[in-house]
Every structure is written in structure tokens, then in C-alpha cells.
Amino acid sequence: MLFSNYRKKKAIKSYIKKLGGDLSRRYGRSKLYTSGQVERTIHEEGYNWKHICYAHALYTTMEQFNEWHYERGESCDYDGMREEVSANYFGGNSSYIDSGSFHNDSSDSFSSAGGDGSSD
């Protein structure tokens, strides 16, 4: 359990610090991307696939997030995942995620918010 928590935190941290840059490089700078763009980038750039729900929660709309999960017979909580990421990586400040600024400023907001994911 401890090791799986570590891998989850590491995956989420990579989505925060690197995935936004890869999405921007591949598809142009944007606050949000499509589920297909997120999925393709995660596969083609070699990100951890197991926690992709968090990448969708960070980079797609709630509608796209819900549709992607419905198509796979999964149920995840968009707002709950975004709140979890805000609490663990941005000191509870959801404005970083809501604005999309965490992936447009090369992880400065991540570092300044004390985002190490160790709050649990």
C-alpha cells in the first residue's frame, strides 16, 4: 500500500510538472485539452497510465472527464480529485487548477505552493 501511494504521488506530480508542457508542445498552449489529447500524450510520452484519472481531472472539462469514464465503465469524482490535488500539491488553493496556471508557468506555482504531495 505504501509503495502504491508513492507511485500515485509520483504520477500526479509528473502530471502537474511535466504533462502540461508536453500537451502545450504537442497541441498548443491551452487551459484545457481533450480527453484524446491527454490519453495520447500520456501513452506516447511514457507517463504512468495507472493514475490517468488525475490527468483528466487536471486537463479536461468535467463533461469530458465524465464521458471518458462512462465509456470505460468507471466512476471517478472530478471535483473530488481536483480537491485532492489542490490539498496535496497546492496548499488547498484550487485557483491553480481552476485557472490552469499550474501548467502554464513551468511549475513555479507548484513549488511556491509547497507541492510535494506529502500532506497525507
pLDDT tens readout for residues 41-93: 999 999 999 999 999 999 999 999 999 999 999 999 999 999 999 999 999 98
* Predicted structure pTM score: 0.83
- In this prediction, residue 22 carries a pLDDT of 96
For 77-115, give one letter per residue: b (16+ CB within 10 A) or e: ebeebbebbbebbbeeeeebbeebebbeeebebbeebeb
Write down the pLDDT at residue 58: 96
